[in-house]
Chain A
């Protein structure tokens, strides 16, 4: 059964590839619109063996990693500050919802004017995209903690720091992880979009420059890699953390 599991996940992809191949050869689609899977595979091998893919992909991964770290370090304390203060929470809730409506990409024109076509622009956009769900979810998580938990600890002689450590942090952790996971999803998309415009490396840059030379094979390799990397980061990194915290705390909370 265990061996069948990856098969079940990969099956739909195989079907997808089969359909793609079928359309390509069945309808005789010209190469400048769509190439066959073997051509994409060849291009993939070329990009890998020449180290090109590694360079562009690692640029994207570094950027999302850096942005995630910064967003976490700023977003979580900010979420706590807002979540523990009823007035701040009420005042900021609307603002946060409003900002959620303006996607990171909508900030690109301004960011380019401010920081030029640079990595700073991309970093700013990705942090912005990531940080909103982190702040929002941390805040929601903190506010969902029963007040009695805090009061009980105060009567046991706990100070503010102790309450943050023993109540707010473990209590809000499942929400923080959910915020982080959402943020990574949004952030990854914003990253690719920004790279396409900024053109300073990264997978977005790779597929957008391939367009200039009509390298459809290369564009498709890029797209597949973008999707695959997202799944890898999400499934192998973020989801295990989520499962772990929810198993230990989230369910316990009910």
Chain B
């Protein structure tokens, strides 16, 4: 399969008043089209920095990032982003937030509404379409953010701990939904998380980073996801999956800060 994202020799320094701060070690990474890659690593190791570079928000200090054979020059609608901190607009209703990408792409109203209706159903937001974000719970807001990215239908989706603020129960459902959705729509996904279980559950491949300044320490392949995605019941009782989760846990533990 074709390489969708290629990161080679990436390293980043932030320029600050106290001089340059090294945010990551040297990172090489490639993600194939349709692949779901998750990244785990200790806080501050440079996960968000890497994601932002792929998104085109920051220009790498060293190395190159290529998406679809073209060097990344800046953000674009081919790469959707779900942020670690909340980034939906407080002055737009749920509906208008979700439809924002479509509005920008000048998609006709009828089609926009259809997409919103579909995603609102999928994300369990029915009845909240005309509410403002401050009227929603933290978890619901994050679901709006995911829906907004999804609605714009980018080929690549970059997610930075999207479910960190979601309650544990909803999280399980969202993870299952996300898995199913990604298999069905053949999205290429780069997904950052702190949760080892989540990383293994969702991934075709799990990357583990070292502590700051982080490099990629290990890559673990997870057996192919079934067509319908995974579900937590079979995941927890599957010895192969549990073995991989154990390995990742072990690797992550060694990097405790």
Chain A residues proximal to chain B, CB less than 8 Å? 146, 148-149, 151-158, 162, 166-167, 170-171, 248-249, 251-254
Please, could you name 12 A-B residue pairs with CB atoms under 8 Å apart, sorted by A? Answer: A146-B85, A152-B83, A154-B56, A155-B77, A157-B104, A157-B105, A158-B104, A167-B89, A252-B91, A252-B133, A252-B134, A253-B91
Interface of A is mostly: helix
Distance of A153 Cα from B91 Cα, bound (Å): 14
Distance of A167 Cα from B97 Cα, bound (Å): 12
Q: A149 to B87, Cβ gap below 8 A?
A: yes
Q: B91 to A249, Cβ gap below 8 A?
A: yes
Distance of A238 Cα from B90 Cα, bound (Å): 23
Q: B89 to A154, Cβ gap below 8 A?
A: no
Distance of A54 Cα from B8 Cα, bound (Å): 75
Distance of A252 Cα from B88 Cα, bound (Å): 12
* Nearest neighbor of A156 in chain B, beta-carbon distance: B101
Q: A170 to B81, Cβ gap below 8 A?
A: no
A146-B85, A154-B74, A155-B55 given; 6 more Cβ-contact pairs under 8 Å: A151-B55, A152-B81, A153-B100, A154-B57, A253-B90, A253-B91
Known interface pairs A151-B57, A252-B133; A156-B89 also in contact (CB < 8 Å): no
Fill in one digit per residue for B123-148: 1 if any A CB lies within 8 Å of its CB, else 0: 00000000011100000000000001
Residues of B within 8 A of A170 (CB): 89, 91
Residues of A within 8 A of B229 (CB): none
Residues of A within 8 A of B57 (CB): 151, 154
> How many Å from the CB of A63 to the closest CB on chain B?
34
Count residues on chain B whose CB falls below 8 Å from chain A CBs: 29
Q: Does B80 have its Cβ within 8 Å of any Cβ on chain A? A: yes
> How many Å from the CB of B89 to the closest CB on chain A?
6
Residues of B within 8 A of A251 (CB): 134
Known interface pairs A157-B76, A157-B105, A158-B104; A152-B87 also in contact (CB < 8 Å): yes
Known interface pairs A146-B85, A149-B87, A251-B134; A162-B104 also in contact (CB < 8 Å): yes
> How many Å from the CB of A244 to the closest CB on chain B?
13
Residues of B within 8 A of A156 (CB): 77, 80, 100-101, 104, 148, 152
Residues of B within 8 A of A252 (CB): 90-91, 132-134
* Nearest neighbor of A251 in chain B, beta-carbon distance: B134
* Nearest neighbor of B79 in chain A, beta-carbon distance: A155
Q: Does B213 have its Cβ within 8 Å of any Cβ on chain A? A: no
Known interface pairs A252-B90, A252-B132, A252-B134; A148-B85 also in contact (CB < 8 Å): yes
> Which of A152, A166, A254 has the most chain B CB within a 10 Å cutoff?
A152
Residues of B within 8 A of A153 (CB): 100, 104
Residues of B within 8 A of A148 (CB): 83, 85-87
Q: A155 to B75, Cβ gap below 8 A?
A: yes
Q: B132 to A154, Cβ gap below 8 A?
A: no
Distance of A170 Cα from B154 Cα, bound (Å): 26
> How many Å from the CB of A31 to the closest CB on chain B?
58
Residues of A within 8 A of B91 (CB): 170-171, 248-249, 252-253
> How many Å from the CB of B142 to the closest CB on chain A?
13
Q: Which are the 5 A-B pairs with shortest beta-carbon distances?
A: A157-B77, A148-B87, A154-B75, A156-B101, A152-B87
Residues of A within 8 A of B152 (CB): 156-157
Within 8 Å by CB of B75, from A149, A151, A167, A171, lies A151
Distance of A171 Cα from B91 Cα, bound (Å): 8
* Nearest neighbor of A174 in chain B, beta-carbon distance: B91
Residues of B within 8 A of A155 (CB): 55, 75-77, 79-81, 149, 154
Residues of B within 8 A of A167 (CB): 89
* Nearest neighbor of B83 in chain A, beta-carbon distance: A148
> How many Å from the CB of B248 to the closest CB on chain A?
29
Q: A151 to B87, Cβ gap below 8 A?
A: yes
Distance of A25 Cα from B88 Cα, bound (Å): 66
Distance of A167 Cα from B104 Cα, bound (Å): 13
Residues of A within 8 A of B133 (CB): 252
Residues of B within 8 A of A254 (CB): 134
Distance of A162 Cα from B74 Cα, bound (Å): 17
Known interface pairs A170-B89, A171-B91; A151-B105 also in contact (CB < 8 Å): no
